[in-house]
Structure 1
């Protein structure tokens, strides 16, 4: 079966490593282990690792020393890391942030909590792996990635929104946060949602201790379902008894749950980790955009050219087949463009394709590739995506395309005939056969 991500587990105690792997295996992850830092560095280089889970203490050294070496190696520097610490320590939290640990989980090997923290790191790993592949393809078209575009510059401290239930007092949390951040406060989920749309917020912090927690779960879902807010980290604060279960937390897109009581260092560490992930996602997004150049992009649609699609899809198929990773594609064909050209001219057909490509780009993830396959067909290449998830995405895409304004209103024309297809990678597939099957298997 294809695996969503390849995860290296580095634990001093092999029994703990096995327990973690047993708990995560059913979540579509390929898991392998190492007992020390030296073996872990070798495996991380060899086995196309997407995420590393590591103990803070290893038989041959400190876990932070390993992370430092991992991130200073050009071949492994992109790999996200989840560190498990035996007990809380300000020194460990500061050191882990300094060497680039993405997530630090203290005092528990609970499979649900590890899975909750892992989900966003898997996404980061997938984004970085696809950026590496796409940059390699772009080089064959003499386009180089612009890493300067990934260097975010912004004046002033990050903006945090602290959202409480009506009548709830969060002054203790506010006192901690306002020493380092620009802090906004709201009362109630509706007011928080409105403020999120009115100004830039870097992290949303909400409390589960007062009122109806369903309001906050609904707010978190709203953030995840809104393209303009999708990358805003959502941190929950609350007593363990009042907090949602881990599965609910994952489903609603809450990034982290901070259980009371917590120290100022604990809260700052969690916020800083969330802010770092957001900066990284924005940096990766900017670097993806830098690969869109006249040599790679179709001028009429703004999607990648057919030649780029052919080269890159071959690369994706080879790597997915080698490492048993999922890959799906969707096709969108406008079958009566020739009639539209006859009645309205080439500009009308160009408008249809350009607006469809723009809609597709807004509906898929940054790491998914939108390309032009021929005069009337666009392709969405959904990297590291199993067939069931890609079908859900395809139904969402179909609904949006059906209501897209193609810029043809007010003038007589034939109805736009849209036909969608879908295929997921099979062991015998080549890039050509995968694309051919997608054109034949219609939604």
Structure 2
């Protein structure tokens, strides 16, 4: 996963070392040497994450972080403080200033890369929800949501997996300062049963269990729809960075080292609970207000009206962030024959199943819309031409390789689609131009025999075998 990383440090060798490590991992690195310069870079370059030194002359890292968090335009950018300070009070101060994590110099590469990738994934998801809310607000069907810091962390329902009675007592007592509902479990099976039966705001998982692997529960929580979005805070032994990295890769949101500092635990728990509630508010507000206005009543995916409002903003953001955005324009081959042969009820069944297969085979922040008739569009943020072709081919084969069950006497019918691919993100690109290029590629796919994918500029069509 690539991302733009802003490295802020007043010591040039530190900047060069960190930049070299990140560049080697294919991150795009920009730098700043002091607080005011960092704030200007944040405003102008819109980085995906900020690695921020604390001890800088004039404006220190704590103040820079607070200013980033106080600006609605930048408050959602993840901030990781990188510093020689290792005292627990300094970590708590950084977390309370709005930092997402606190890494101590010399920075361990495993912890650094795992944390950056985890936070960038989170930012991409939150960016998409915020952008959709902005689009909906422009259409006059959605009231703006508040800020992350305006969310309450009180009264949360927290589950703790820990088999050490001493550690469990310390953690539960600390969390009860904020949260009246702290539940516990001493096995992964018991914890999973509780999580699936309750609406939780946070799950705290110990990775020092005597007879079980807490990462197994982490994986299980992310595999169930009911618990997929619940924040996970890991408790780990000091220095156990390999398991921390694995946990973040599996979907954990944060971690804290034992022995547990009570104030740090509270700060990290509050951050995760606020973030979950803010994300839920975004999603609920968005879904409730847009359900009728911006979705296709037959298939349940977005409609042309939403695309006309959303795509220009998405493309504008892609150009500003120097990142590509791809669209797939596809329609159902010989759909008129389906309607003429089996009736419009079967035609509607095919349209619904096509949209369902498309939605199931995309990322959570990708977008599917029905433009009208049998024509659909898929929007893929942060996706280059090669990746877009791969997605298009996967989508085409998922539709073509399995017969469609229909209510007609025949029982099942074959359905295929033709797909045109176009990628934008360069200065001067427009939404209309991007759709036109994809439409031209789609036309070429039909001329090539249908059931294939063609990219703009036209290359050799990717034909069905």
TM-score strictly above 0.5: yes
Describe the SS at the equivalent of 2:14: helix
Deviation at 1:39, TM superposition (A): 1.0
Contact 2:52 2:80 in 1 (8 A): yes
Alignment of 1:59-138 (within 5 A): 59-89=57-87, 91-106=89-104, 108-131=106-129, 133-134=131-132, 137-138=135-136
Q: What are the within-5 Å matches in structure 2 for residues 246-325 of structure 1?
A: 246-286=244-284, 288-289=286-287, 292=290, 294-306=292-304, 308-309=306-307, 312-317=310-315, 319-321=317-319, 323-325=321-323
Larger radius of gyration: 2
Whether 2:434 is the aligned partner of 1:431: answer yes
Unaligned runs of 5+ in 2: 446-452, 455-461
Deviation at 1:228, TM superposition (A): 2.8
Give the Å deviation of 1:43: 1.4
Deviation at 1:32, TM superposition (A): 0.6
1:24 aligns with 2:27: no
Per the alignment, in what secondary structure is the counterpart of residue 228 of structure 1?
helix
How many corresponding residue pairs? 439
Inter-CA distance 170–295: structure 2 relative to 1 (3 Å threshold): closer
Q: Which residue of 2 aligns with 1:143?
A: 140
1:180 to 159, 178, 181: 178
The more displaced of 225-234 and 163-172 is: 163-172
1:38 counterpart SS class: helix
Whether the 8 Å CA contact 1:206–1:236 is kept in 2: the answer is yes
Match for residue 197 of structure 1? 196
State how far apart, in whole Å, the 1-side matches of 2:263 and 2:390 are.
41
Higher relative contact order (CA 8 A, sep 6+): 1
Other-structure match for 1:41: 39
Q: Relative to structure 1, is the Cα distance of residues 399 and 177 closer, same or farther in structure 2, using a 3 angstrom cutoff?
A: farther
Label 1:278 to 1:394 Cα distance change in 2 as closer, same or farther (>3 A): farther
2:449 alignment partner in structure 1? none
Measured in 2, the distance between the counterparts of 1:292 and 1:42 equals 35
Give the Cα separation in 1 of the matches to 2:243 and 2:345. Answer: 53
What is the TM-score normalised by the length of structure 2?
A: 0.77
CA distance in 1, matches of 2:196, 2:211: 22
Structure 1 unaligned blocks of 5 or more: none
Q: 1:236 to 1:424 in 2, by over 3 A?
A: farther
Question: Once superposed, what is the RMSD of the aligned Cα atoms?
Answer: 4.0
Provide the rounded CA distance (Å) in 2 between the counterparts of 1:334 and 1:169: 59
Q: Distance in 1 between matches of 2:279 and 2:403?
A: 30
Query: What is the CA distance between 1:288 and its match in structure 2?
Result: 4.4
Of 224-233 and 418-427, the range deviating more from structure 2: 418-427
The two structures have a TM-score, normalised by structure 1, of: 0.81
Deviation at 1:70, TM superposition (A): 2.4
Tell me the residue number matched to 1:220: 218
Do the aligned residues in 1 keep the contact of 2:403 with 2:412 (CA within 8 Å)?
no
Give the distance between the partners of 2:152 and 2:57, measured in 1 at CA: 42
Q: Structure 1 residues 57 and 423 mapped into 2: Cα distance closer, same or farther (>3 Å)?
A: farther
2:205 is the counterpart of 1:206: yes
